[in-house]
Amino acid sequence: MDIFNILIIIGLFHFSITVDNDWRDYPTCKIGRLQSPIKIKEYESIYANNFSFVYQSYKQCDHCKIIENYAYTINCSEEGGGYINFERGGVIKQYEFIRAELYHGLHEVDREKGKYELHLIHRKNLDFVTNKNQYRSIQDPNMYLVVVLRYLEDCSKGEKACISDNGLLEQLLSKKSPEDVVFDLSKFNIFQEKRAYFYEGSFVHIPCDENVNYYIVKDFFYLKKDLIKDDIKIGNIKDVVANLFGRPVYKNFMNYREVLGNDYFSFKKIVISFLFIIILL
């Protein structure tokens, strides 16, 4: 075999590896209709007060390992990291925490992306039963619930109000050794009672499975300068904005215009109430 044929074989081998690791060569990633990440616009999202966290019972994940593959990941699937109960449409489902994945900013909310996105990935517990669900049902085939926390650097009250996560991200970024990482969510309650968006999407890594519910906290979290690492190795992920294809994006809060346009605060009712007060006086 001459040198020319050897080079051809090496080139084909390299090409095959590249193709296998490229999300563009997976049909679902390219033409799926429930893909992530997406671009969120507050004024186009729909107000809904029927999704929320009901209860959390996280526990410490011991002897985890940081994996640098398609994401900067802490995997807690073997020991288990506890669970949350999430209510949607009056139906409560339980989701077990299995891993945390760190990405550079992916989701765009009102034209803003974070420096990092921390994805807290939960898997549905199919054996969970509660009396509250006895006479209710909701069509939700998705197996995963991903809580997305977005981080900014140099947050200040003058520019952007940011929330402290009290050291959650620090558990992931401050580790010098990938062995025996301890990741503990039990001390944190950082996404309950927070303004958030909800939509149905996919994982951002191959093969882009479309069985994910996303809960994206609207507000940014504060990122300490000494935790910023630009050398984090993140593999081939889908970082292009996906088309919504008519998917609704929900939010659990209203802005002032929506509040004033609400039935309880309509202009007509305000005028009638004002006139009634004048008559009484």
Which range is least confidently modeled, 69-73, 133-137, 213-217?
69-73
Q: What is the pLDDT of residue 155?
A: 75
Q: Is 92 a residue whose pLDDT tops 80? A: yes
Share of the chain above pLDDT 90, in %: 29
Question: For 34-266, which CATH superfamily applies?
Answer: Alpha carbonic anhydrase (3.10.200.10)
Q: Is 261 a residue whose pLDDT tops 90? A: no
Q: Categorize the per-residue pLDDT at 107 as very low, low, confident or very high, splitting at 50, 70 and 90.
A: very high
Which range is least confidently modeled, 72-81, 120-129, 160-169, 264-273?
264-273
Q: Is 266 a residue whose pLDDT tops 60? A: no
Phi, psi for residue 5 in degrees, rounded to 5: -65, -35
Q: Categorize the per-residue pLDDT at 10 as very low, low, confident or very high, splitting at 50, 70 and 90.
A: very low
Q: Which position has the higher pLDDT, 145 or 271?
A: 145
Which range is least confidently modeled, 68-77, 167-176, 247-256?
68-77
36-40, 117-121, 130-134, range with greatest mean pLDDT: 36-40
Q: What is the mean pLDDT of residues 215-236?
A: 78
Q: Is 25 a residue whose pLDDT tops 80? A: yes
